Amino acid sequence: MANILPDALAEELVTVARTATGDSLRSVIYFSRSNFEQLYLREDLERDADLDTFVGHEWRGFRDTNNAYQSSETELGEYRFTVRAFANGYLLRVGTERVGILLTTDDVSMGDFEEIAEAVTRLLADHEK
């Protein structure tokens, strides 16, 4: 699969995630409406995941979430990111209107997720300019 991101941006996204999570980072996937690229996969993990299906579900969820909260004001404020909990780790989904990042981790704090989400959002927004 060809790279869909400039190498410098891909490296910066992985660095941001690694800095916030350390060895707890499992994977980093960049996605858009029509494509995705796995930027990082921890060495001890299997490379046989069905990323097409996984990213497809998350893209639909990302689109639906952004649409649902885009025009409505809630007492919680503006939508920022989604964290999903699984038996073997967590998934963070964050992005702009057109692209996003999926990060999977072992156990990390909510503060770590917030730090990653803010940094990734800035990087993606700067890249779209």
Q: CA nearest 31: which of 8, 7, 52? A: 52
Structure tokens at 57: 């579900």
* pLDDT, tens digit, 9 for 90 and up, residues 48-96: 777 888 887 777 766 666 666 666 667 777 778 889 899 989 999 998 8
Kindly report the CATH class assigned to 7-110+118-128: alpha beta
pLDDT at 57: 76
Structure tokens at 36: 């995705």
List the beta bridge partners of residue 103: 28, 92
**Burial classification of residue 66, based on how many CB atoms lie within 10 Å of its CB (0-12 exposed, 13-18 middle, 19 or more buried):** middle
Q: CA nearest 44: which of 102, 110, 91, 89? A: 89
pTM of the model: 0.85
CA torsion angle 56 52 101 99 (round to 10): -60
Mean per-residue pLDDT over the chain, rounded: 85
Q: CA nearest 24: which of 101, 120, 109? A: 109
Lowest mean pLDDT among 8-22, 24-38, 53-67, 94-108: 53-67
In the chain, what are the domain boundaries? 7-110+118-128
